[in-house]
Each structure stands twice: as C-alpha cells, then as structure tokens.
A = this chain, B = another copy of it.
Amino acid sequence: MQLLVEKPAGEISLREVARAADVSHNAPYHHFSDRRGLLKVLAERSMADLVAAVREAIEGAGDPRAAVIEGGGAYIRYAVEHPHGFDVIYDPTVCIPGEPSETMAPLIDELEELLSEASVAAGLDGGTGVIGVWGLVHGLGTLCAAGHFTLDAALAASADALTRMLPR
C-alpha cells in the first residue's frame, strides 16, 4: 500500500515488495498466490477505502439530493487523490470480469448499494438511474485523475450533471 502511493500497480514488483519488507525475494509467495494475488489485495483494500469515503460523504449530507452529489464528489476526490489505488480497483487484469472474485464482489456490491440507496432516495430509477450516476462520477474521476481537467472542474461538472439528472 505504501508503494502504491508512489507508483502504479503495474510498476510494483513482487521482489520490490520483498525488499521493502526486508525479506527474501520469495517470501511473498507464502502470503500471495501470485503477483495477481498481491494486486487483488491492494485492490480490495483500496476499494474498502473508497467505499468508506463515499459512505461518509453520503451520511454527512443533509437531504437526499445533496447525498448523491456529495457521494459522487467523494468518489471523484478519491480517484484524484489516490490515482494508483483507484486504477487497481478497476484493473481488468486484476479482477477478471467473469470471475466471482470472492472478496472483491461484496465490496462492489456495497458500493452499488450505497449509490443505489442514495439515488433512489433522490428520486432516480433503481436500475438505469444508478448506473448513470456511477458511470458519471467514475468517468469524471478517471479522466480527472489522468489530468484531462482539474478537480474543481470535475466536481463542478459532476454537481451540475447530477442536478440535471435528478428529478425536480
């Protein structure tokens, strides 16, 4: 997790982790099945952090509409402040699309449920509407983290788009 702050998951080697822990180059194999096993754990921990950030923002909001906007803002902020962590969460080579994933799945479900509850409370459709909200903040977070526009612009665009998307 320390290394993930400085460099993307793709540039973290098992041997480097071993060196940082001051153990032999093969010790990690007694804790992770694979290189992918390590990345999976990094992804799970990052996902837990992301979910916690979004939950906190939603619970701290006043009305349902503000909850969606604040939750979305927290999602975008996490992506920008922890770009490598955010990337590894959704890395298709880490969590294979078809695979149940065992440990990652409940976290994804938790995030979806969080967004779903907030969106429905704000008057959106439980299926299509939630996907729209998730897609919006995910895209803004990704593009913003990649440097295509500033965090302020992303947050403004998110609030603006969500305001238009939510009924009333």
Chain A residues with CB under 8 Å of chain B are 8, 10-11, 83, 87, 90, 92-93, 97-98, 108, 125, 127-129, 131-132, 134-143, 145-149, 153-154, 156-158, 160-161, 164-165
Contacts and interface: CB of A to CB of B under 8 A. Distances in A.
Main secondary structure of the interface of A (DSSP, over half): helix
B138 A143 contact: yes
A62 to B, nearest CB: 23
A136 B132 contact: yes
A142 B140 contact: no
A29 to B, nearest CB: 21
A134 to B, nearest CB: 7
27 contacts: A8-B93, A90-B142, A90-B143, A92-B147, A97-B146, A97-B147, A98-B147, A129-B160, A131-B140, A131-B149, A132-B136, A132-B160, A135-B136, A135-B137, A135-B143, A135-B154, A135-B157, A135-B161, A136-B161, A137-B139, A138-B142, A139-B139, A139-B140, A142-B142, A164-B164, A164-B165, A165-B165
